[in-house]
Structure 1
């Protein structure tokens, strides 16, 4: 028995204790170094997401390109730091198959429950709830918007810095609409708009909502030689009413463009209303929005461009019904600009008249209103 016991339970070796203690001490030291080393949760999340691969952006049914290859890992030799576009994509990925979120977002300098909310805007604001009772309808004050941007984009500090640095309320209001749609999706509409028909009627019966990620309307289609004296683009998409699924690439693009322009002007010391090197329309308004849409239509990462011509204003001029390009539904000028009396727009009673815009700009100071 003693022999068996000695094989099962070897006698203690006095020389093993120091070795064991040394191993334990080394393990504790490594653990302490790991515990207290500099570490950023957000950086690690971006690093893991972009180096180990992530679900690639789903390509629209009518489009295909390099983005459909599923190659999201950074090639050897490229920077390990994600670009602003990559950060936004990681923070708010795009899922075309998802439903349009049932949100309606509007902004005003004061709460709708405030005594300072103008009486003439109340029926307009109420029309959105009346026409869309199943939607969550929020009118966000300027103060609430500041906090919401910090909450939604705290992990992308460039966005927060740019938003807080904008020198005029109209610029913040423009950027906020893109930010809230990128993060949460739904419908954004200016406070001086009236809902004429429910949002579920915006797309025709033969257009599957699961194949659409962005719904936009034509603001201007000036078929005249002096169009540039009146509008910034030959075809101009309105940004007073937009419907989107969260994470849409056009929203990512326009947010990144505005943020980078803002920080560039801030570094140059020209980020003031009197010194900005871009007009409001070009900086945050319909011009930069229209450009982002056309960049998307002509981006080979999303659309096959070989052997096909670019998408231009000619594809939308004279549009009289909804048109789908990739995952974007473009509505005719009548849909969001009925009754303007020009450029082929029909009246508010037209079946395709969905939103009426009063063009007041009443929530902006007189010096900052734009047509």
Structure 2
């Protein structure tokens, strides 16, 4: 006779068997870890398209998080992906010792700082004070701890200020501009209206074009791109490269025991400043992963492509602005005045970092 206990036992066996069949089927339908890893190349260049001629509707495998031992650039590419067709984020980033709400915020900086908000009413405008920067970097780069270690190990405020601009644009995008700059025109006027912004990922300006034999006594590069005002979409390859370069150089000097004032083997200009920034831009322009370079050629783009530039120049997904755009009124190297149609940002050249007695 079928008792209640026997019936209950049979029901439990049946349910267990059904659950086992379903779990076996689900496990067999999932891709193996090896197949997922093999199918992902960390290639984020949207300009390359479907190189293999395959069906674009094919379901893409979910990429694995790169391990901590993966190359730094691969980890940065994963955590801060680049979408060329996305809009430029409506952020304006600036840094200073104190926030504008502080009584210690210099009165001479209030008009320049407010000019950015006045000309960009729909933007989020943040002035990040020194005591907040490290917390923000730790939050944004928590998944890439060597970047935060590099930032936190830097022995000079100017190095951290330089590094911060690249870090914030890599992670969040938008506009970075030094606190001693005045916005002359809104960012919507920086590029011609006929230019498709879905093909632009970064905007840089020429800082110096010194056509004189002793140019190296005054500037780091023959054509020097300014880094007091920058605009980019998050994850741009140039930002990824400069962040990786500075991180690697910082940790190298730290390991060698020379990451100290007066002992570093790089100047500010070559370490985090316009020399390093200019090199990163040219590395991008000459990177065969992004540009078609003629066989046998060692360089795709050189300073000669930008000297005496008067208007816009688009190189791949980067728009290079003439010296007038971010350096109007310097009265040299062909720069126009602040009323020039191409004048967008006025730099007041406060140069407060040069007053640091440790330099």
Q: TM-score, normalised by structure 2?
A: 0.84
Going from structure 1 to structure 2, the CA distance change for 1:230 and 1:155 (only over 3 Å counts) comes to: same
1:141 aligns with 2:141: no
2:332 counterpart (316, 338, 342)? 342
TM superposition shift of 1:142: 0.9
Structure 1 CA distance for aligned equivalents of residues 52 and 165 of structure 2: 31
Matched residue, 1:174: 162
| Bigger relative CO (Cα 8 Å, ≥ 6 apart) | 1
Structure 2 CA distance for aligned equivalents of residues 196 and 286 of structure 1: 22
Structure 2 CA distance for aligned equivalents of residues 282 and 209 of structure 1: 31
Structure 1 CA distance for aligned equivalents of residues 344 and 357 of structure 2: 30
Secondary structure at 1:329 match in 2:
strand
Contact 1:213 1:328 in 2 (8 A): yes
1:53 aligns with 2:40: yes
Equivalent residue pairs, number: 326
Matched residue, 2:248: 260
Flag structure 2 segments of 5+ consecutive residues without an equivalent. Answer: 14-19, 21-32, 54-59, 62-66
1:323 aligns with 2:313: yes
1:227 aligns with 2:215: yes
Matched residue, 1:351: 341
Q: TM-score, normalised by structure 1?
A: 0.81
Going from structure 1 to structure 2, the CA distance change for 1:68 and 1:283 (only over 3 Å counts) comes to: farther
Matched residue, 1:42: none
Going from structure 1 to structure 2, the CA distance change for 1:360 and 1:300 (only over 3 Å counts) comes to: same
TM superposition shift of 1:311: 0.3
Structure 2 CA distance for aligned equivalents of residues 361 and 206 of structure 1: 36
| 1:279-318 pair list within 5 angstroms | 279-307=267-295, 310-318=300-308
Structure 2 CA distance for aligned equivalents of residues 361 and 110 of structure 1: 17
TM superposition shift of 1:58: 2.8
Q: Deviations over 1:149-189 (max 9, x none)?
A: 00000110100100000000000000000000000000000
| 1:1-371 pair list within 5 angstroms | 51-53=38-40, 56-60=43-47, 81-307=69-295, 310-362=300-352, 365-367=355-357
Going from structure 1 to structure 2, the CA distance change for 1:50 and 1:226 (only over 3 Å counts) comes to: farther
Going from structure 1 to structure 2, the CA distance change for 1:50 and 1:128 (only over 3 Å counts) comes to: farther
RMSD of equivalent CA atoms:
3.0
Secondary structure at 1:215 match in 2:
strand
Contact 2:205 2:225 in 1 (8 A): yes
Runs of 4+ off more than 4 Å: 46-52, 67-70
Q: Deviations over 1:196-232 (max 9, x none)?
A: 0000000012321110000000000001111111111
Contact 1:109 1:363 in 2 (8 A): no
Contact 1:49 1:90 in 2 (8 A): no
Q: Deviations over 1:60-113 (max 9, x none)?
A: 4xxx59x9669x99xxxxx99310000000000000000000000000111111
TM superposition shift of 1:127: 0.2
Contact 1:124 1:195 in 2 (8 A): yes
Going from structure 1 to structure 2, the CA distance change for 1:224 and 1:363 (only over 3 Å counts) comes to: closer
Question: Larger Cα Rg: Structure 1 or Structure 2?
Answer: 1
